[in-house]
């Protein structure tokens, strides 16, 4: 493979066996505004039409045994499944000029580890606001359509292969109940909100990011979601696809759509906020217990994150420990308290508390005649200004714990600017720093392994013979590529470090 082609491929893909099947993002040199539905309605005919508009005949992918899954025409991104060798052949030959970059598709997971009065919601109900007329998207593992305490979703679609819109995990139903449950004992924050069921996580609580983004796009563009709850996430991956998806979030935010995401469950370590919560403009939510103490698992931000992104992460905190909500009757769980309810913990549970309050504020905003494009400046400003500060570090609590009563009282009195044109550059810069630090950390780890345990230099790789080592052939090919000058020393070390680190963990 030529050096030009090599430079296009993310090291995580290069580090895999050539016969291994992977799901990849193909980042294209072009984009088109045609055939938007190719992401959320990826039938063969739709995919073919979208690929043709991008200058890529679907036959050229099939010839290489590459199966396109979704196409995001506006962003110039294709997700596809194939063997590593097929991807390498593709960019070396037929479509070398059309494909700028090949990256792995990250996987996100549900972020799991008497909250309504705690955030002063009954007062807002007394003012007549219950979320009426507001469309809330639950982008999750689905919503149980038969649960007696949940409203029937006004729109439903599954983006998980071979799974119906029903919730086979329980996480999405629990989240939906926190937002819009209608039980006499366990009520949601906005019981009259209209739910949109966008199923993107499978029965085990995992989902690929192409499916997740397609589910978000469908919820916003087709189903008309005004606020989107994302109780899921993955470690931010420095990639072009991540930047392209972030650009779309920012576009929607400026149009008036609000996004609420779980901050993550990797606290108390700093700089552990997950994506999409880390994206500028997305409301990142950490968790507190019922005593108002920051949950130890709740992910933290840092001064550096604030300085680079221009905003504090997490944005807010909300109840997220031992939260009782709706749960499918046919799924067993250790947290079940009766056939229809279970208690769960995590920032996954904190995020829908904020989403529910936003639904209440959106109803109030519409009643007062505020235009949708001002949703971010009005509603986020009100949430931040009204949050109650806790006795905790600001990079653990953000602006504080949400208070729906104070937020309603302050609606329209404060303004905050939606993320500007520089927000994407700030995010790109942050990801670049992460990538650089990843490289340094991997190099240090690799050098330590070689010197302390193997006692050999960087290029003395002949000890890794093909026999008995599943990665040996890759390492041998990598060594030869470096020695022949096809790749740089940095590229060689980066990939080698990843492989050795991966072997050490096995």
317 has which bridge partners? 286, 401
Cα 302 to Cα 317: distance, rounded to the nearest angstrom = 15
Burial class of residue 65, CB neighbours in 10 A (0-12, 13-18, 19+): middle
Cα 221 to Cα 232: distance, rounded to the nearest angstrom = 21
Q: Kindly state the helix (H) or strand (E) to which residue 500 belongs, with its residue range.
A: helix 489-505
Cα 383 to Cα 397: distance, rounded to the nearest angstrom = 13
H-assigned helices in 285-422: 303-309, 347-367, 375, 381-386, 394-397, 404-409
Q: Kindly state the helix (H) or strand (E) to which residue 99 belongs, with its residue range.
A: strand 99-104
Other C-beta atoms within 10 Å of 385: how many? 17
Annotation says 501 is catalytic: no
Four-residue CA torsion sign, 355, 360, 364, 366 = positive
Cα 475 to Cα 51: distance, rounded to the nearest angstrom = 35
Q: Could you tell me whether strands 283-288 and 258-262 are parallel, antiparallel, or unpaired per DSSP bridges?
A: parallel
Which is the catalytic residue, given 140, 144, 169, 211?
140
Annotation says 476 is catalytic: no
Four-residue CA torsion sign, 221, 226, 232, 235 = positive
CB of 142 closer than 8 Å to CB of 197: yes
Q: Inter-axis angle of helices 489-505 and 472-483, to 10 degrees? A: 170
Which is the catalytic residue, given 79, 115, 169, 171?
171
Four-residue CA torsion sign, 366, 371, 376, 380 = negative
Q: Helix, strand or coil for residue 10?
A: coil
Which is the catalytic residue, given 39, 239, 345, 348?
348
CB of 32 closer than 8 Å to CB of 73: yes
Pick from 407, 418, 497, 425: nearest CA to 461: 497
CB of 24 closer than 8 Å to CB of 103: yes
CB of 144 closer than 8 Å to CB of 328: yes
Annotation says 171 is catalytic: yes
| DSSP code, position 372 | G
Active site residues: 140, 171, 348
């Amino acid at each position: 493979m030529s050096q030009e082609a090599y430079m296009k491929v993310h090291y995580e893909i290069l580090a895999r066996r050539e016969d291994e099947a992977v799901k990849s993002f193909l980042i294209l040199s072009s984009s088109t505004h045609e055939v938007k539905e190719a992401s959320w309605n990826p039938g063969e005919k739709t995919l073919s039409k979208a690929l043709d508009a991008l200058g890529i005949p679907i036959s050229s992918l099939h010839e290489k045994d590459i199966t396109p899954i979704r196409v995001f025409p506006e962003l110039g991104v294709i997700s596809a499944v194939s063997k590593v060798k097929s991807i390498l052949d593709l960019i070396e030959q037929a479509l070398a000029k059309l494909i700028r970059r090949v990256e792995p598709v990250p996987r996100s997971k549900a972020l799991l580890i008497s909250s309504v009065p705690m955030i002063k919601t009954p007062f807002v109900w007394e003012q007549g606001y219950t979320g009426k007329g507001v469309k809330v998207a639950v982008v999750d593992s689905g919503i149980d359509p038969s649960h007696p305490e949940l409203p029937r979703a006004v729109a439903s679609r599954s983006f998980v292969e071979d799974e119906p819109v029903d919730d086979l995990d329980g996480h999405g139903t629990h989240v939906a109940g926190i937002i819009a449950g209608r039980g006499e004992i366990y009520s949601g924050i906005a019981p009259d909100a209209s739910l949109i069921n966008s199923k993107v996580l499978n029965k085990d609580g995992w989902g690929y990011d192409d499916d997740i983004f397609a589910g978000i796009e469908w919820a916003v563009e087709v189903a008309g979601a005004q606020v989107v709850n994302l109780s899921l996430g993955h470690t931010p991956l420095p990639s072009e696809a991540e930047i392209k998806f972030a650009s779309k979030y920012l576009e929607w935010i400026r149009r008036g759509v609000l996004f609420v995401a779980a901050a993550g469950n990797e606290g108390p370590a700093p700089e552990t906020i997950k994506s999409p919560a880390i994206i500028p403009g997305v409301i990142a939510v950490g968790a507190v217990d019922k005593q108002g103490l920051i949950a130890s698992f709740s992910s933290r931000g840092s001064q550096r994150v604030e300085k680079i992104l221009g905003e504090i992460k997490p944005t807010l905190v909300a109840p997220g420990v031992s939260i009782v909500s709706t749960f499918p009757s046919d799924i067993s769980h250790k947290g079940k308290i009766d056939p229809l309810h279970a208690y769960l913990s995590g920032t996954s549970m904190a995020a829908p508390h904020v989403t529910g309050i936003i639904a209440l504020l959106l109803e109030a905003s519409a009643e007062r005649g505020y235009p949708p494009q001002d949703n971010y400046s009005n509603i986020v400003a009100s949430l931040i200004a009204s949050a109650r500060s806790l006795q905790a570090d600001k990079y653990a609590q953000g602006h504080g714990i949400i208070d729906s009563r104070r937020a309603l009282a302050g609606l329209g009195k404060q303004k905050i600017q939606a993320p500007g044109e520089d927000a994407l550059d700030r995010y790109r810069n942050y990801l670049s720093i992460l990538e650089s630090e990843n490289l340094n950390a991997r190099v240090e780890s690799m050098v330590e392994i070689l010197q302390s345990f193997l006692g050999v230099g960087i290029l003395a790789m002949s000890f890794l013979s093909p026999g008995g080592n599943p990665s040996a052939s890759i390492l041998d090919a990598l060594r030869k590529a470096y020695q022949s000058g096809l790749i740089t020393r940095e590229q060689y070390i980066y990939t080698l470090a990843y492989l050795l680190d991966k072997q050490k963990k096995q």
